[in-house]
Amino acid sequence: MAGLELTDFHINKFLSPPETEEVVVGEPDGEVSLRCWNASSQVLAVQWFRGELGEIPILLSSDGKLLSDSRFSLVENSTLHISGLRLEDEGHYVCREILAETNHTHRTQLLMAGGPDQMEVSISPTGTLPNGTLYAKRHDVLNFTCSSDTWPDSATKWDFNPLGSAQEPFTEVNSSRSSFVLQNVMPDYQGNYSCLATNLLSQHQKSVIRELLVYYPPPSSPKCRAEASMENSQEVQLLCSWPGGYPSPTLQWIPPEDLVMDSNTTHFANATVVSLQGSRRLWGKDFICRGTALPVLPTQLCFPLVSERPWVISSPMKSCFVGGPAEMSCELIASNPPARITWLRNLSEAEVEIRSGGRFLVSQKDGVSTLAIQNCSTSRDQGYYICKAENPLGLRQVYVHLQVTEPLNVAGIVGSVVVLLLLGVLVFSGILLYLGPQACLKGERGSVENYSLE
């Protein structure tokens, strides 16, 4: 590996002696070339020394003096080449040019740098998914640690890259080890955490990235129910949902052991739907929805009961006056999946469903369906009505008879009675006037005679 030349900043940083003219960085097992910059065509010989000039023997010389260590060699009779670098090769090297009348020297400092190697990144306490991704629970306290094997020391920097957002600097220290603590971890702390180690001497870098997911359970237990399919009225759908958590839970429907039948299962983000063909074999059967939200949470279950066909009740007779309103209702007291309630007319022609509009209003609340009719008419409205409740397991229907009557004329009746009373008074008065006083005297004489006899 070729040597690395440093800027004035790096030279001053490592406080090389003032007479040092060049600083070269090497790495263990690498190679480096130290040039003797002043070499010219008039030079008689070039000599390389290790340490201070004249204190130690010559390493190499262009006039044929060679070191026994084969790692050292001269290139073009002036450049010192060192291969298989070792930590102990660090130090000062001096080249001397022997000229006819004078000698020139050039000092080079060789610095050895190693790493960063063997980086270790730890985020705890966390779990690990099969793909290596780490996960923690919401509100946990997490310890982040990053270290590397570097010589000399390195700068260690943490960056955070939220999922779907730009990278954010987190913390940086001039040390080969960095650690910090995150309190009360929240879902927005989810993303990629990268630790970057930079050798301050060689500027070589190494990075390790850890993806962290923040898990949290749903706030409640799984919810499940049975309902009729919107596409197929003869099909039962069992729905199981468990929203509000991350990641999406795993939901599985488990049928009763004694029930073997074809089914079609559809999976959504937080729900699972299984479709079954309606049959008497489903009556009273318990199905189980098993949900698993997090690796550290126990499995939770819910049980929707598939019962028998619907059951409805209603008053068999209703009445209204001509021109007035009428209201009929029926109540669904049992049905799972919930039944669809419709109103029909039992006329001689085919049954036709009654829908809201015009004089009719059909409404439903809490299992009670109501049919309201405005402006009752004997010819149009009197007769039997059918309340029908149907789900994939069967149907029930009840009959309601509507009687339309003429309203009572109370004022006419009272007037007739008054007229009759007046006629009676007039007739009685006329009789009295016709008979005259004789009737009164005859009555008095009879009274006197009766008195005398006594």
Q: Would you state the structure tokens that stand for residue 267, as one six-digit string?
A: 């999976």
Is residue 427 situated within a structural domain? no
CATH of the domain at 354: 2.60.40.10
The amino acid at 267: H
With residue 435 as reference, give the H or E element that holds it.
helix 410-435
- Measured in residues, the chain has a length of 454
Q: 5 lies in a domain?
A: no
Label residues 29-59 b or e (16+ Cβ within 10 Å = b): ebebebbbebbeeebebbbbbbeeeeeeeeb
445 has a pLDDT exceeding 50: no
pLDDT per position as a tens digit, 205-218 = 999 999 999 999 89
The distance in angstroms from the start CA to the end CA of the chain is: 168
pLDDT of res. 439? 52
Say which DSSP state 130 is in: T
**Domain termination site, one of 112, 145, 164:** 112
> Do both 120 and 205 map to the same domain?
yes
In a domain, residue 401? The reply is yes
Structural domain includes residue 50: yes
* Coarse DSSP helix, strand, coil percentages of the chain, rounded to the nearest 5 percent: 15, 50, 40
Listed in sequence order, the residues at least 6 apart from 119 whose beta carbon sits closer than 8 Å to its beta carbon are: 146, 147, 148, 149, 195, 197, 206, 208
Q: How many CA atoms lie within 13 A of 133 on its CB side?
A: 12
Euclidean distance between CA atoms 245 and 170, whole angstroms: 28
User: 56 and 49 in contact (C-beta within 8 Å)?
Assistant: yes
Residue 95: per-residue pLDDT: 87
Residues of the domain holding 258: 223-307
Q: What is the mean pLDDT of residues 97-121?
A: 85
The type of residue at 143 is N
3-state class (DSSP) for residue 68: coil
- Domain final residue, candidates 275, 307, 339: 307
pLDDT in tens, 40-50: 667 788 888 88
Q: Of all helices (H) and strands (E), which one includes residue 414?
A: helix 410-435
- Same domain (yes/no): 343, 293: no
Note the pLDDT tens digit of each residue in 317-344.
999 999 999 999 999 988 888 888 999 9
285 and 227 in a common domain = yes
Nearest in space to 258 (alpha carbons), one of 279, 300, 235, 286: 286
Give the contacts of 153 (CB within 8 A, at least 6 positions apart): 174, 175, 176, 200
Q: Which two tokens stand for residue 235?
A: 């099909």
Which residue is it, tokens 């022609």?
Answer: 349
Which of the four pLDDT bands, split at 50, 70 and 90, describes residue 9?
very low
Burial of 282 (0-12, 13-18, 19+ CB in 10 A): buried
Is residue 131 situated within a structural domain?
yes
**301 shares its domain with 372:** no
Is residue 374 a contact partner of residue 404, using CB atoms and an 8 Å limit?
no
Q: Determine the Cα–Cα distance for residues 142 and 180; give it in Å rounded to an integer.
A: 9
Q: Classify residue 65: in a domain, yes or no.
A: yes
Strand pairing partners for 274? Answer: 238, 265
Q: Is residue 10 part of a domain?
A: no
Whether residues 207 and 152 share a domain: the answer is yes
The answer on 211 and 121 residing in a single domain is yes
For 286, residues 6+ apart whose C-beta sits below 8 A from its C-beta are 256, 303, 305, 306
Query: Residues 366, 297: one domain?
Result: no
Same domain, 101 and 119: no
Q: Indicate whether 190 and 125 sit together in one domain.
A: yes
pLDDT at 1 over 50: no
Q: What does the pLDDT look like over 173-206, one tens digit per residue?
A: 999 999 999 999 999 999 999 999 999 998 999 9
Residues 128 and 208 placed together within one structural domain of the fold: yes
Do 290 and 360 lie in one domain? The reply is no
Whether the predicted model's global pTM rises above the 0.85 cut: no
Q: Give the least confident one: 165-169, 235-239, 424-428.
A: 424-428
> How many folded domains does the chain comprise?
4
Cα separation of 106 and 24, whole Å?
13
Query: Are residue 126 and residue 73 in the same domain, yes or no?
Result: no
Domain boundary residue, one of 260, 278, 307: 307
For residue 319, the tally of other CB atoms under 10 A from its CB is 13
The pLDDT assigned to 10 comes to 38
Collapsed DSSP state (helix, strand, coil) of residue 347: coil
